[in-house]
Amino acid sequence: MRMKITPGTLSGRIDPVIASKSWTHRALIAAALSGEPTMLNNIAPSADARATCHCLEAMGCTIRQRGEGLAIQPGPAAKEGLLDCGESGTTLRFLLPVAAVLGIRAEFTGRGKLAERPLSPLYEEMAAHGIRLSPQGQFPLRIEGKLTAGDYSLAGNVSSQFFSGLLFALPLAEGDSRIRIEGELESAPYVNMTIKALNAFGIRIDREESGFRIPGNQTYRSPGSLTVEGDWSGAAFWLAAGALSEQGVTCCGLNPESAQGDRAILELLRGFGAKTEETAGGIRVSRGQLKGMEINAADIPDLVPILAVTAAFAEGKTVIHHIARLRLKESDRVESVLALIRSLGGRAEATKHEMTISGGGLTGGTADAFRDHRIAMAAAVAGSAAPEPVEIIGAEAVAKSYPGFFEVFRSLGGHAEPLTE
Distances (CA, A) of 160 to 94, 148, 325, 335: 10, 21, 11, 22
- Residue 138 and residue 116 in contact, taking contact as beta carbons nearer than 8 Å: no
Apex 187 CA angle, 312 and 99, nearest 5: 130
- Residue 328 and residue 362 in contact, taking contact as beta carbons nearer than 8 Å: no
State the Cα torsion 299-305-307-310 to the nearest 10°: 180
The stretches of 203-278 forming alpha helices (DSSP H) are: 232-243, 264-272
* H/E element, 88: none
Residue whose C-alpha is closest to residue 180's, from 201, 207, 159, 204: 207
d(CA 130, CA 171): 16
Provide CB contacts within 8 A for 325, sequence distance 6+.
157, 159, 186, 187, 301
Residue whose C-alpha is closest to residue 139's, from 110, 118, 99, 168: 110
d(CA 139, CA 282): 44
Q: Give the residues across from 285 on adjacent strands.
A: 249, 276
Q: What is the DSSP string of 116-147?
A: GS--TTHHHHHHTTTEEEPPTTSSSEEEEE-P
Task: Assess whether 302 carries a catalytic annotation.
Answer: yes
- Within 10 angstroms of residue 33's Cβ, the number of other Cβ atoms is 27
- Residue 220 and residue 203 in contact, taking contact as beta carbons nearer than 8 Å: yes
Residue whose C-alpha is closest to residue 74's, from 25, 37, 28: 37
Question: Pick the catalytic residue: 231, 262, 302, 368?
Answer: 302
Report the catalytic residues: 302
